[in-house]
Structure 1
Amino acid sequence: MAQADSKVLRLGVDVGSTTVKTVVLDPNTNGVLFTRYQRHNAHQAATVRQLLTEAAGRFPDVRFRIGVCGSGGRPIAAALGAHYVQEVVANAAAIRALYPQVRTAVELGGQDAKVIFFHYDETAGRLQTSDMRMNGSCAGGTGAFIDEIAALLNVPADEFEHLAAQGKTVYSISGRCGVFAKTDIQPLLIQGAERTDIALSTFHAIAKQTIGGLSQGLELTAPIIFEGGPLTFNPTLVRVFAERLGLEEADIVRPEHPETIVARGTAIAVDELFPGLQDAVTLSQALERLDHAPAQPEDAAGTGKPYFADDKERDAFLSRHQAELKQPVDAADRKVLRGYLGIDSGSTTSKFVFIDENEQVTDTFYANNQGEPLRVVRQGLMALAEKYRKLGIQLEVLGLGTTGYGEQMLSAAFHAD
């Protein structure tokens, strides 16, 4: 990283929907002296405090001009006594200062996606923003979208890139909405599609949504810069964009620290928008202001009215409803248990019921598919067989039937009717 050569440094803080980013700049060179990117898990102010405390340890007694941007930035800026910078303005400031050859910026965040269009103004002699497109309230095609599909596939979000990089087949998946995407993905999972292919298809859905739905017909002119956490930690996603846009390597700009470039732009924009040094403070002073600021709404999370007043009320509820459920009959007194098995492979869960020759339910099973319905059903059946083996009971399945989204797959796997 660059070395500081100014008595007053610049600090940019980007408080996003899922992460907080901080960048310390040398204002003489715009060189990065310190940078951090961290998920805040809905505790924005606490995460800002943590990152500023770390920076204060690196730069004791150094004064800073501070800018804050992002969807959660305005109250943090007020608490710090810092300047609030609109994030598109911050992004444009970074690109003008650092990457003036860029003509389009694609930025994906935790819950928002933006495409910014630039042109070079000959009269002004500088890069100018000509247009901007941003998604609405839905997080389709963003980092949260990736998190949601990763959860559906039962893989950690930080392993999603590894899956997608191995994908070969691209399926049609909606990138506009997570609910629609799940509707497309569930049948694919149940039909045995590889999770690697679904991960790759998810990236194609994001690129398709950004290029077609978000840009709204405006041409994404090269060179194109790719920014934000999802495009930093998922290089396969950048490759997918390049494939769909027909980009050569020379058309792609991969910035230094793309996950924190908007925070960097915020630090740059402070001097452009708010000249002067009268607002400079040490980070210890900024932290003191933050500690004495009114509590943010996030601190009230989880303080809603509980479902039950106490454990006694909850236990009474559970006992009452358990009593209303029809319990399976006890088959422990039999030497041989003959019966019929019915399996329902649904869109999100797998269920089966075993009934004896008198059509009495003896066992039931219900579990989340976890992205692998065949494995889940197999584990349930093995547990059923093991239960009766331990009881010394011979289990005989006289007939097996399947239904649901995964009916064909299960029928093929178990040779069912």
Structure 2
Amino acid sequence: MYHIGLDIGSTTLKMAVKDDAGHLVYQSYKRHRSFIRDIAVESMGEVIDIIGTDQQVTIAVTGSAGMGFAEQVNLPFIQEVVATQLAVEDAYDDIDVVIELGGEDAKILFLTGGTEVRMNGSCAGGTGAFIDQMAVLLDTDLAQLDEWALKAKHIYPIASRCGVFAKTDVQPLLNQGADKADVAMSIFHAVVNQTIGGLAQGREIKGKVMFLGGPLTFLKGLQQAFKEVLARDEDDYLFPDNAQYFVAYGASLYSKSEESMLAGDLLEAIEKQQEGHQFESHVAPLFESLAEYEAFIQRHSETAVPRADLTTYTGKAYLGIDAGSTTVKLVVIGEDEELLFESYEASNGKPVEFVRQALLKIYESNPTINLVSGAVTGYGEELVKTALQIDYGLVETMAHLTAAQAFQPNVDFIIDIGGQDMKCFRIKDGFIDTIFLNEACSSGCGSFISTFASALGYNVADFAKLGLFAKHPVELGSRCTVFMNSSVKQAQKEGASVEDISAGLSMSVVKNALYKVIRVNSAEDLGQHIVVQGGTFYNDAILRAFEREIGGQVIRPEIAGLMGAYGCALFAKSQPEKDQSTILKKEDLEDFEQKTTTRICQLCGNHCQLTINQFSGGRELIAGNRCERPLYKDGQKRDHLPNEMNFKRQLISQARARGKRTMDNCRGTIGLPLGLNIYEMYPFWMAFWKALRFRVILSPFGTKDTYLAGQATIPSDTVCYPAKLMHGQVLNLIDQGVDAIFYPCLTYNFDENISDNHYNCPVVAYYPQVLEANMKALKDVKFLYPFYGVHNRKKFTKAISQDIQATFGIPSKETKQAVDAAYKAMDDYHHKILDFGTQAIEKARAVRAPIIVLAGRPYHIDPEINHGIDQLIETFNAVVVTEDGLPMDPDHIETDILNQWTYHARLYNAAKLVRDTDDMYLVQLVSFGCGLDAITTDEVRDILEEKEDIYTQIKIDEINNLGAVRIRLRSLFATIAQQQNKQ
């Protein structure tokens, strides 16, 4: 008798066959690319070659994609977690935790201390699919990625929650010249952090840990990353041989209790497998006929660009470069804006080398070419500009606007879809009025299509063509890439053709762009003169789907993918002519050298991981810095215009130093975790405890290490990043040996008389309870988290007096005096903030500098949360004021929503003041995961747009790269400059 375990995962099919004695007879591990039946038949045929058709066998099916298969073939099914447990307990008796990573599935199985399983939902952030995506991004295969990782010397902080988030961090590192070995190991560390933070979700990984699944079997670098992050004894880790087959082994064990059949009959049953459902489509085809398609192509061919021969051209020429996230585009135009040269290639993380080679081709084609000037835009702008001495750098939005206006002078809406980035601009009176960027999701971008094309075995161009005449396009809606995987596979199972899926995905790209990024209510919201750009719009299926979705026609320039570069060339041509361009000549390009090193900056508390690029001629570019100190040889901070966020951080540092001082008759040490509402209320609580003769320890500003230290105790992966940091802040206080940690629950904030009510958001109000329930370390320290209402001074005084008497034996009289000191300290703090804001505004007006109201929450001043955005704004010679540094309007603004949150009310008050003040501009900081901000962002935008004011929103989270932020801010300041010039 032979016992077959068939493990059908999201991307692979594993089959294991054992005899009655438990000896392994056969095993195979194959990628099925959704052709599950064919691979199952192939594997079963190989089994029969070994045991014959007349041998009795039992079988059980398992795996994330196994249930449907088992039902269709009428085979027994076992849930994969149970199968894993059976296999592990059959082979070992000392395993406490099992971590298994598959293609799109990840799970942690706790076997001791209460059996429990934690699995990923629809996010493949820490799985094999994630690693596959990263390998493609690094232009390598898994074997090379693993080899690189084992040579790493530095670990970069990379967002671990989602593959797209990680791309947002990885791509700029590559463009800045980071060592691929360091990036590879950083990717593996991101997988580990996702496993701990996203799967364990508060339950401690302890005891002996077994690692299963393909990625953990084949990738030694990933194994090493788990060891480094978990930091356990070597004996605590077990990476068994054939770990990728353990689930199949468990299914084989389970099958022993099932009825047997002949091996030949089993093969025949699998061969006859029929899908249980037939695909139905309710979506009209993109094109009903070839004639309709030809008319479509004819209409869009009218946007052709004049061309001339580079080799014989003798006039002035202008260079334009777009160094994007995944590709580099380069054009040369002549005096009549004719196209002389064009290039569009994948950068593979080496944009400088690509541009160097392209320039050499240009010089070789026309040795006497007169490049009068050039400009560069995109993520690699600074790198390419510095390395090759390009004359100008241009923000992407302005480059694309310049190009679009060349084709449609009255353009009022531009949408540019690239490989991972989407940019949409609403234009009013020739100026950019509103900017929409995809924050961290590339589901509406070119990589979305290329991912599926690759998975189905096609190149992008061929895959796109398949969908043009599909008769029954799949309705996939607007979902993220990972969510879409399951929808595509289900459509395949139900009989949808590759053509149907291609068309459906093209429609999905458009829906994601319109309804997730731009969030339009109707086509009229876009405008009457729309220009579409970006390489993704070369896909006729996507262009057609876009026009169909908006119910109108758009302009797609013939050079849609080159528009950023073309706009740069036009910009360079429009600038006053210089005596000579600084662009490197042929001989300089031939001798060009680039050297890249990394180091940790020690000039301030940020400890940034710097990438230093050194070029021929002594040129140098430093990337990865949050402040400007590394840019100066003396490392000193330069004087800047007022920055209220920085002022607040200085106040905190001063208060922290005062709180640590010892005093006579000290009653003990109280710890305050710096985060959420403590960021604003620390003066209140520090004054209170100091008046009671306690030494007060205020935890440090947040860092990535703060987050990682506490991530194993975070019970929810969807809570906002500021809340996640609180776990590490509490651990920091425990490590400092405080006698007690004080962190009260506050349903209400102070009443500032500018809103209908004055609640704290639920996370801010009650997060102490989450900490108490999930952090075992708090059992070893006195953790005080009472419920108070500081808005009602009388009731608060009575309640806290009783608590202090009961806990510390301190008389009520002393506590009442401490309460008086706390309220006075809070008043003094608010006056300092308001005074600084007033003086900052006066200073700005004295030097005619823009006033940026950087509006958000008190905790958004944390450098780990805002990643230096306020310091980035400083570099634009602007004054930074926070929303609470503005005067409160006694006639609080009427809103279209229930205005009941204190922090939100300040946002609306700030928006009203900015709207009514000519030299103020509002930038709103929003945390990912903040459900309440789904309301505030729309309301703040509506308030500002009543008078057509510019609204800029920036979403911040654990993502360290500020590429999208820089685009928004540079676009804002470019628009401000245009408006001032117009006046």
TM (normalized to structure 2)?
Answer: 0.38
Structure 2: runs of 5+ lacking an equivalent: 392-983
- State how far apart, in whole Å, the 2-side matches of 1:167 and 1:305 are: 51
Match of 2:349 among 358, 361, 371: 371
- State how far apart, in whole Å, the 2-side matches of 1:263 and 1:57 are: 20
Match of 1:55 among 44, 47, 56: 47
Q: Which residue of 2 aligns with 1:126?
A: none
Q: Which residue of 2 aligns with 1:384?
A: 362
2:6 and 2:248 in contact (8 A); partners too: yes
Match of 2:267 among 278, 282, 287: 287
Residue 251 (structure 2) pairs with residue 266 (structure 1):
yes
Specify the SS of the correspondent of 1:137: coil
- State how far apart, in whole Å, the 2-side matches of 1:171 and 1:88 are: 33
Residue 8 of structure 2 aligns with an amino acid whose one-letter code is V
Match of 1:221 among 206, 209, 219: 206
1:160-181 C-alpha deviation (Å, 9 max, x unpaired) = 2122222222111112111111
1:56-111 C-alpha deviation (Å, 9 max, x unpaired) = 11111221110100111112223443210000000000111002211010100000
Residue 195 of structure 2 aligns with an amino acid whose one-letter code is T
Specify the SS of the correspondent of 1:119: coil
Residue 31 (structure 2) pairs with residue 39 (structure 1):
yes
**Pairing 1:179-194 to 2, within 5 Å after superposition:** 179-194=164-179
- State how far apart, in whole Å, the 1-side matches of 2:370 and 2:157 are: 42
**Pairing 1:301-320 to 2, within 5 Å after superposition:** 307-308=286-287, 314=293, 316-320=295-299
- Which structure is larger by alpha-carbon Rg, 1 or 2? 2
Match of 2:84 among 85, 91, 98: 91
2:57 and 2:263 in contact (8 A); partners too: yes
Residue 184 (structure 2) pairs with residue 199 (structure 1):
yes
Change (3 A) 1:361 1:174: same
Specify the SS of the correspondent of 1:237: helix
Residue 408 (structure 2) pairs with residue 415 (structure 1):
no
2:37 and 2:273 in contact (8 A); partners too: no
- State how far apart, in whole Å, the 1-side matches of 2:2 and 2:311 are: 80
**Pairing 1:241-252 to 2, within 5 Å after superposition:** 241-252=226-237
Q: Which residue of 1 aligns with 2:58?
A: 65
Q: Which residue of 2 aligns with 1:3?
A: none
Q: Which residue of 1 aligns with 2:377?
A: 403
- State how far apart, in whole Å, the 2-side matches of 1:86 and 1:200 are: 33
1:183-219 C-alpha deviation (Å, 9 max, x unpaired) = 1112111111122221111100000110122101111
Residue 280 of structure 1 aligns with an amino acid whose one-letter code is S
Specify the SS of the correspondent of 1:105: strand
- State how far apart, in whole Å, the 1-side matches of 2:149 and 2:297 are: 43
Change (3 A) 1:90 1:332: closer
Larger relative contact order (CA 8 Å, sep ≥ 6)? 1
Specify the SS of the correspondent of 1:197: helix
1:230-275 C-alpha deviation (Å, 9 max, x unpaired) = 101101101110111112221111222101111011111233xxx3
- State how far apart, in whole Å, the 2-side matches of 1:159 and 1:63 are: 43
Q: Which residue of 1 aligns with 2:322?
A: 344
- State how far apart, in whole Å, the 2-side matches of 1:184 and 1:214 are: 22
**Pairing 1:156-195 to 2, within 5 Å after superposition:** 156-195=141-180
- State how far apart, in whole Å, the 2-side matches of 1:337 and 1:200 are: 50
Specify the SS of the correspondent of 1:394: coil
Between stretches 355-364 and 261-270, larger displacement belongs to 355-364
Specify the SS of the correspondent of 2:369: strand
1:288-308 C-alpha deviation (Å, 9 max, x unpaired) = 1122221377x979xx98655
Residue 94 (structure 2) pairs with residue 114 (structure 1):
no
Change (3 A) 1:199 1:376: same
- Percentage identity across paired residues of the two chains: 37
1:133, CA displacement in angstroms? Answer: 0.7
- State how far apart, in whole Å, the 1-side matches of 2:322 and 2:273 are: 55
More strand by proportion, 1 or 2? 1
1:336, CA displacement in angstroms? Answer: 2.8
- State how far apart, in whole Å, the 2-side matches of 1:309 and 1:383 are: 44
1:328 and 1:362 in contact (8 A); partners too: no
- State how far apart, in whole Å, the 2-side matches of 1:380 and 1:313 are: 39
Residue 9 of structure 2 aligns with an amino acid whose one-letter code is G
1:339, CA displacement in angstroms? Answer: 1.6
Residue 91 of structure 1 aligns with an amino acid whose one-letter code is T
Q: Which residue of 2 aligns with 1:131?
A: 116
2:15 and 2:43 in contact (8 A); partners too: yes
1:37, CA displacement in angstroms? Answer: 0.3
Specify the SS of the correspondent of 2:344: strand
Change (3 A) 1:307 1:57: farther
In the comparison of the two structures, how many residue pairs are matched? 389
Between stretches 100-109 and 75-84, larger displacement belongs to 75-84
Q: Which residue of 2 aligns with 1:330?
A: 308
1:138-168 C-alpha deviation (Å, 9 max, x unpaired) = 1111000011111111112343212222222
Residue 9 (structure 2) pairs with residue 16 (structure 1):
yes
- State how far apart, in whole Å, the 2-side matches of 1:356 and 1:54 are: 64
Q: Which residue of 2 aligns with 1:82?
A: 75
Q: Which residue of 1 aligns with 2:937?
A: none
Between stretches 14-23 and 46-55, larger displacement belongs to 46-55
Match of 1:143 among 128, 132, 140: 128
Specify the SS of the correspondent of 1:219: coil
Between stretches 152-161 and 218-227, larger displacement belongs to 152-161
1:103-144 C-alpha deviation (Å, 9 max, x unpaired) = 010100000110111128xxxxxxxx6111111101111000
Specify the SS of the correspondent of 2:376: strand
- State how far apart, in whole Å, the 1-side matches of 2:153 and 2:211 are: 23
Residue 219 (structure 2) pairs with residue 234 (structure 1):
yes
1:89 and 1:269 in contact (8 A); partners too: no
2:63 and 2:80 in contact (8 A); partners too: yes
Change (3 A) 1:314 1:154: farther
TM (normalized to structure 1)?
Answer: 0.86
Between stretches 162-171 and 66-75, larger displacement belongs to 162-171
- State how far apart, in whole Å, the 1-side matches of 2:20 and 2:322 are: 63
- State how far apart, in whole Å, the 2-side matches of 1:361 and 1:86 are: 61
Q: Which residue of 2 aligns with 1:125?
A: none
2:177 and 2:349 in contact (8 A); partners too: no
Q: Which residue of 2 aligns with 1:394?
A: 368
Structure 1: runs of 5+ lacking an equivalent: 1-7, 121-128
- State how far apart, in whole Å, the 2-side matches of 1:224 and 1:42 are: 32
1:80 and 1:287 in contact (8 A); partners too: no
- State how far apart, in whole Å, the 1-side matches of 2:309 and 2:245 are: 62
Q: Which residue of 2 aligns with 1:105?
A: 98
Match of 1:321 among 291, 300, 310: 300
- State how far apart, in whole Å, the 1-side matches of 2:163 and 2:381 are: 25
- State how far apart, in whole Å, the 2-side matches of 1:205 and 1:335 are: 51
1:187 and 1:347 in contact (8 A); partners too: yes
CA RMSD of aligned residues (A): 2.5
1:9-51 C-alpha deviation (Å, 9 max, x unpaired) = 11000000000000011233x3322110000011111111111
1:416, CA displacement in angstroms? Answer: 2.4
